[in-house]
Structure formats: structure tokens, C-alpha cells
Amino acid sequence: MKNNSRRNFLQTMGVATLALPFVPTAYGKEKNVLPDVPYDGPVLRVAIMGLGSYGTRVAEAMRSCKKAKLVGVISGTPSKIEDWQKKYDIPKKNCYNYDNFDKIKNNPDIDAVYIITPNGLHHPQCLRVAKAGKHVISEKPMGLNAKEGQEMVDACKKAGVHLLVGYRMHFEPKTLEIIRMRKAGDFGKVLFFQGLSGFRIGDPTQWRLNKALSGGGAMMDIGIYSVNGARYMIGEEPLWVTAQEVKTDHEKFKAGIDETIMFQFGFPGGATASCLSTYSMNNLDKFFLNGTNGFAEMQPSTGYGPIKAHTNKGELDFPHETHQTFQMEEMSEIILNGKQPIVPVNGEEGVKDLKIIDAIYEAVKTGRKVDLV
Ligand code: NAD
């Protein structure tokens, strides 16, 4: 089965429980944010584009959503459309293919399109969805480079629609609790972050190893979690980047497809980050943050969970919630009610990561430190 190793990586801790979403309070205890009562507020009506592995995961997670609903599909495979119609009760009028989805413009029953196709397709598909006047949620990485990302931001702005990036960790309770603790000064002055992100990739013919569709290798796919994590864990934007590449399998990882990259950042407050992105090691998923007074450690830190986290003050033991359920509930609030998330998930946030990734690739190529400001 394709991408099996990735699924295993992301699923390290087994099937998620479908409890109600929780958020941490200032005391580190969980608080139920979606009381188990009927919801009659606005609902974000979503069409998923790309009915692959992750699209399926999002669709299943959305079954538990109250504020977002899967109402449409866009796919190039008629048999998949039929399956999904049956499984999720999707009317024929909300089904599109890659040739005709511009017609979604005339469909008043769809508010947003969630693009879950290979990376190289996000940019052109986003521009078309924006032109059709629908809100866009794009999977990560939002585009192949910062230029594409910025064009997506500009197109959505011009069309007057939201552009969000599928950064599910930005809603994850333990992640948010560590961010709260860092802001409260619990770790003292933050001076170091380590991010390790990797899995062993399988099938050499898959799109993730095809430069045109992936935009690169492990960095674009999984390394982006450490790039993004360094920023939200430290709470600053890096000033500079250095990076080194190691390739052990030139057959599988052809030119332009990175297997392993080590990268380092320097931050304005004096913190440094040391990270690793790889397609050659399984069960590599760890964040570590250290300040003058204490630390936070997460392992796994970005898989599908449950996330495990502890600090020098002890274990964080919030109940697990399916990340994508929580993400779509919150994205509905952002799009329909203008809610401001604690960690942004908008297009601009995605562009920041892509600028850094562009710089990492440049640092690998030149062997030099690359300034980001
Ligand atoms: P996948 O290969 O399982 O699914 C991709 C889908 O796109 C398939 O249904 C495929 O048919 C369709 N597709 C349309 N045009 C295609 C083309 N020209 N070539 C290949 N496939 C084409 O991949 P996936 O794992 O679902 O990843 C899709 C996106 O989701 C990627 O951008 C990936 O980075 C992202 N993703 C995000 C997370 C997360 O946790 N946020 C997890 C996994 C994947």
C-alpha cells in the first residue's frame, strides 16, 4: 500500500478516541469547549478536493464536527466520487472533477474547498477556487515555494475569500498549553529548540518523490513541521538559517528530492534551533524547548496522536481529540465568525514557512548562512 510508512508514523499511538474537543485552561486542566448539546449555529459547508489518504482522514474526522460539514467532493476518479457520495451522503450536484470544478462558483451550497492533493497542485487549484469565490483551505506545504504561496495569498485577498493552511497542530491542546507556559515565562528566557521530523518513505514511484508534484523531499513533507514548530514553540521569527544535506540513497532520492537535511535557525531573542528532516528514519517525531528555567518535551510531537508532552513541572495529561475534528471546528469559527486562533493558520503563516524552506534549500546549495531579514 502506498505511503504506508507515513501512515504508520502519523498513527503511532493508534486510533483516536472521538471525545469532545478540549482546550487547556491557565491551570493546565482541560475544559470542554464543545458541550454535548445540539448546535444550531452556522456550519461551514466544505468540499474536499483530492480523495486520497489524508482527504479520507479529514472526511472521517469531520463526521464528529458540529460547525463544519462535508458536503461536496472534487476528484478525477468517478468511482471514488460514487463511494464518497454513498459514504457521506453527498448530492450529485456537489460533485466535481478537475476539469469542471470552476463551476462551483454557481453552487450556493458550498462555502469552502479543502485542497488535499499533491503539493504541486495546491497553487493552481487555489487560484481557481479563489476565482470561483469560495474560501480555500490548503494542505501543507501551501505551495512549492514562497512565491507561489504569496500568489495564493494575493489571489484570495483579491477574491475576498479566506485562505487557511491545514496546520492541525495549531489547535492541539498540549501544544497550546506549552505555548501558554512559554508566554507566561514558565521556562524562563527561551534559548533552544530542537525539532526532529522524519519517517521512512516507501514506494519509490509515489508523488512525494516526484519533484514536480512534491517540490522537494522530506523537507517539504515532514521537515515543515519542525520549521513551523520552531516558530510557534519559540514564538519568534528566525533571523538566519544554516543547513546541511546528507543523501545515502541517490537512486530513490533523485536530484531535487532531499532525503535528510539538518538545519539551524537563529532568533532575535538569542535562541537557536537545531532541526532534522528525513525520509530515512521511522518514529522520528520530537520537539524539545529549553529556557533558562525549564523545558518542554513532546514525543510524539506532530503525529496524529495522542501527542505526549511533559515539562520540568510534570506530564501534560489532556485527553486526546482527533486533530482534524478540532481543526475543522476551529476553521469554521475562523471563516464564519472571524475568530483569531492562538497560532495563525492563514496564508501569510504558510508563506513564512515557505520563505524559510526556500532559505534552507539555498543554504544547502551554497553552504552559506542565509539571512531571512
Ligand atoms: P495521497 O497520494 O494519498 O492523495 C492525493 C490525492 O490527490 C489522491 O486522491 C490522488 O488521486 C489525487 N490527485 C489528483 N491529481 C493528482 C496527480 N496529478 N498526481 C497524483 N495524485 C493526484 O496523498 P496524501 O497523503 O493524501 O497527501 C495530500 C496532501 O495532504 C499533501 O499536500 C500532503 O502534504 C498533505 N498531508 C497533510 C497531512 C497533515 O497532517 N496535515 C498529512 C498527510 C498529508
Q: What is the pLDDT of residues 174-207, one digit of tens each?
A: 999 999 999 999 999 999 999 999 999 999 999 9
Distances (CA, A) of 29 to 24, 32, 171, 173, 344: 6, 10, 16, 10, 23
Catalytic one of 54, 114, 167, 225: 225
50 lines ligand 1 (CB under 6 A): yes
Q: CATH 3.30.360.10 spans which residues of the chain?
A: 186-318+348-371
Q: Output the CA 121–ligand 1 centroid distance in Å.
A: 10
Percentage with pLDDT > 90 across the chain = 89
Mean pLDDT estimate for the chain: 92
Indicate the SS3 state at residue 334: helix
What pLDDT is attached to residue 24? 41
Q: Output the CA 31–ligand 1 centroid distance in Å.
A: 34
Q: Output the CA 49–ligand 1 centroid distance in Å.
A: 9
Burial 319-355 (b: 16+ CB within 10 A, else e): ebbbbbbbbbbbbbbbbbeeeebebbbbbebbbbbbb
For 133, the grid coordinates are 469565490
Q: Output the CA 155–ligand 1 centroid distance in Å.
A: 22
For 267-282, what is the mean pLDDT? 98
pLDDT confidence of 100, banded at 50, 70, 90?
A: very high
Does residue 225 carry a catalytic annotation? yes
3 lines ligand 1 (CB under 6 A): yes
225 lines ligand 1 (CB under 6 A): no
- Per-residue pLDDT at 135 exceeds 60: yes
What pLDDT is attached to residue 23? 43
Catalytic one of 66, 67, 134, 140: 140
pTM for the model: 0.93
pLDDT confidence of 37, banded at 50, 70, 90?
A: confident
pLDDT confidence of 268, banded at 50, 70, 90?
A: very high
76 lines ligand 1 (CB under 6 A): yes
Q: CATH 3.40.50.720 spans which residues of the chain?
A: 18-168
Percentage with pLDDT > 70 across the chain = 91
For 40-61, what is the mean pLDDT? 98
Domain 18-168 top-level CATH class: alpha beta
pLDDT confidence of 368, banded at 50, 70, 90?
A: very high
For 350, the grid coordinates are 504558510
CB 249 within 8 Å of CB 259? yes
CATH for 186-318+348-371 is: 3.30.360.10
Atom of ligand 1 nearest to the CA of 119: 32
pLDDT confidence of 34, banded at 50, 70, 90?
A: low
- Per-residue pLDDT at 75 exceeds 80: yes
What pLDDT is attached to residue 69? 98
Does residue 140 carry a catalytic annotation? yes
